[in-house]
Amino acid sequence: MVKKISLICLLAFIVIAFSFLTSSGQDMEYKEYKVLKGDTLWDISSKEIHDPFLWPKIWKENPDIKNPDRISPSQMIKIPLRLIQKEQEEEASTEKASAATETEAAVPKKEEELKPIEKNNRACKEKWVFAS
């Protein structure tokens, strides 16, 4: 009985460890980028991730860059694919939302009918309200 429980615990541990290693391995995928003359991490982040404010995340993934203000041309840096994919997903959801808004805006609204109500004795003008 003790052997069966030990075996089940061992198998459960192996499955959990394997799933953890698999998921963390996906986060470690990178795109290599060759630094061009005049490039900064801000520019690279803007070009590759479409968000210049994420440059510290690129710097964090490249421990060989001691000073982010001094990157050398022809230096290879790693850009995490998860950042690129996250930005693409956000762009896709933004495009869907804007397409839905454009569709709603294209549909003309039903005109509401105006009907006269009681006369205003002070101003001698009719008041108009929306019919409901």
* CB-based burial label for 68 (10 Å; 0-12, 13-18, 19+): middle
Average pLDDT, the chain: 78
Query: Token pair for residue 11?
Result: 């198998």
Say if residue 127's pLDDT is above 90. no
Q: Is 130 helix (H, G, I), strand (E, B) or coil?
A: strand
Parse the chain into domains and list their residue ranges: 23-87
Q: What is the 3-state secondary structure (H, E, C) of 37-93?
A: CCCCHHHHHHHHCCCHHHHHHHHHCCCCCCCCCCCCCCCEEEEEHHHHHHHHHHHHH
pTM: 0.48
Domain at 23-87, CATH from 3.40.50.300, 3.10.350.10, 1.10.10.10, 3.40.630.10: 3.10.350.10
Q: CA 131: distance to chain centroid? A: 44
Say if residue 20's pLDDT is above 60. yes
pLDDT in tens, 26-77: 556 889 999 999 999 999 999 999 899 999 999 999 999 999 999 999 999 9
Query: Token pair for residue 52?
Result: 């210049």
Q: Residue 19 — pLDDT band, cuts 50, 70, 90?
A: confident
pLDDT in tens, 22-37: 655 555 688 999 999 9
pLDDT in tens, 89-106: 766 777 766 666 666 655
Kind and range of the H or E run holding 32: strand 30-34
